[in-house]
Amino acid sequence: MVEKRYNNYITNNYKLKPLSTFREKIGYGFGDMASSMFWKIFSYYLPFFYSNIYGLSLSDTAMLLLITRVWDAISDPMMGIIADRTHSRWGKYRPYLLWVAVPFAICGVLVFTTPNVGPQGKLIYAYVTYILMMTVYTAINVPYAAMLGVMTPNPDTKTIFSSYRMFFAYAGSFIALYSWERLCDLFEKATWSLTDSWQQAMMVIALITIILFMLCYRMTRERIRNTSTVSALKDLKLLVTNAPWWLLIGAALCSNLFNTVRGATVAYYFKDIVGDNVYLHLGDFSLFFYAGLFLGIGEVANMLGVTLTVPISRAIGKKNTYLYMMISLAVLSSIFFFVPATNFGFWLMLLLQIIISIATGIISPLVWSMYADVSEYAELRDGTASTGLIFSSSSMAQKFGGAFGGALVMWMLAIFGYSTAEGAVQSPQAIMGLKVLMSWVPAGTAILAVIVIYFYPLTRDKVKEINSRLMARRKKN
């Protein structure tokens, strides 16, 4: 009812087309469902693939994951500037869903392809394909994210759209993570090649992403026609003086680092601490316990968290919701360190994963909705729209979080003496390193996020004021 009244209001006063409600929300969700299927596999399995299957050393893998982000630091804002200045009959941001979907899928397959060349050639190939993949990811994900800023001017509706987005993102992640090891096993039995099986599993996921991006393109619309009225250089200068943007970047970087460190450690943690062929027992009930199940259940819990985002943020505000969830993540992650590798401990691990994932699921839509708030703050303050550029920072924070998180895992494993040799029995120091990576390191990033977001100035009342003033200005124009 509230959304219906709001649609009537914007239609009568601002000449904007009303939302097509449920269908469009589903369509918008399909876009991040596609992106997240790739992103979670890259974050959680690519470090393991490079070090244990592809054949790179831990140090080479760490440098690869980190150095590629230097290019991302340039390509993300570049893509934001390009998207802000794109003009077509389909909109500014939406056409990229159509143009980049197929290259996105092809690059994903290339990343998980193992060439028959020497060690140096494999390292070069890994750098080229991974940089190419992240460039294409930027080309489709930055415009997709920026669409949120031009689909509706209502801050609450943006949070709803963001919640649908993250719900479908986690659904896609669940499908990808839960099926990944099973797909790899299936293709390995068919081809008798471990390296080929990872490539073929990615082909299946890649085909699904093409379909989802096409559906997103067909089912969404851009409504707000904002225009960048200054040069690209001026846009960048205005961005670096935007204090709420800096604080949100810091908070988003911490939350992405939290997720990536835990996720990238899971495959190693299960291999060397949980072990193979482990079953959870509860009376006569037994459940096979493996990394894909642990991660997949986490994605389902993320989806539950997403459904709680809107009612909680409406009650206490976006900033407070983010703050309290991060405090809870710091406490829960610390507890994980003390969980024993026993049947009871494995059940406790699963319970902690569910609760932690609910909290991260609540946080994720908030970040995207808060970027939209920062975009409107910037438009009101500067008198020019830089939606794509601001949302490009979300992609940049996501990639830096993934890069530093993945590199940190590799470096810490090397410091603790982790061995990637086939059949290696890990030392007590290496086991300790895995436990620290699943507990104290994520807890530290959560505490840092709490400190950063405490100073974030765009409270609920402030956002309402900005939105009211900006809509009045748009009406005049």
The helix/strand/coil state of 73 is helix
CA–CA dist 429, 451 (Å, integer): 31
Structure tokens at 432: 């300790």
Identify the band that residue 1 occupies on the pLDDT scale cut at 50, 70 and 90.
very low
Give the pLDDT of residue 92. Answer: 87
Q: What percent of the chain has pLDDT over 70?
A: 92
Q: Is the pLDDT of residue 3 over 60?
A: no
The helix/strand/coil state of 281 is strand
Q: Is the pLDDT of residue 6 over 60?
A: no
CA–CA dist 346, 10 (Å, integer): 52
Print the SS3 string covering 224-268: CCCCCCCCHHHHHHHHHCCHHHHHHHHHHHHHHHHHHHHHHHHHH
CA–CA dist 138, 395 (Å, integer): 7
Q: What's the pLDDT tens digit per position in 407-458?
A: 888 899 999 999 988 788 899 999 999 999 999 999 999 999 999 999 999 9
| Mean pLDDT of the residues in the chain | 87
- Mean pLDDT over 146-170 rounds to 84
Structure tokens at 398: 């996501």
Candidate from 97-111, 220-234, 357-371 with smallest mean pLDDT: 220-234
CA–CA dist 29, 35 (Å, integer): 10
Q: What's the pLDDT tens digit per position in 227-255?
A: 666 677 787 788 888 999 999 999 988 99
CA–CA dist 457, 235 (Å, integer): 21
Give the pLDDT of residue 331. Answer: 97
Candidate from 212-221, 303-312, 328-337 with smallest mean pLDDT: 303-312
Q: What's the pLDDT tens digit per position in 383-392?
A: 776 777 777 7
CA–CA dist 427, 444 (Å, integer): 25
- Mean pLDDT over 131-155 rounds to 88
Q: What residues have CB less than 8 Å from 195, skipping those under 6 apart? A: 53, 54, 114
Q: Is the pLDDT of residue 10 over 50?
A: no
Cα R_g (the chain), whole angstroms: 22
Give the pLDDT of residue 14. Answer: 45
Q: What's the pLDDT tens digit per position in 325-367?
A: 999 999 999 999 999 999 999 999 999 999 999 999 999 888 8
The CATH T-level fold of domain 20-470 is Growth Hormone; Chain: A; (1.20.1250)
Give the pLDDT of residue 9. Answer: 46
Q: What is the DSSP string of 9-45?
A: HHHHHH-PPPP-HHHHHHHHHHHHHHHHHHHHHHHHT
Q: Is the pLDDT of residue 156 over 80?
A: no
Give the pLDDT of residue 124. Answer: 95
**Of 3-17, 18-32, 204-218, 249-263, highest mean pLDDT:** 204-218
Q: Is the pLDDT of residue 397 over 90?
A: no
Cβ–Cβ < 8 Å for 413, 58: yes
Q: Is the pLDDT of residue 395 over 70?
A: no
Structure tokens at 221: 């619309």
Of 197, 219, 172, give the one whose Cα is nearest residue 34.
172
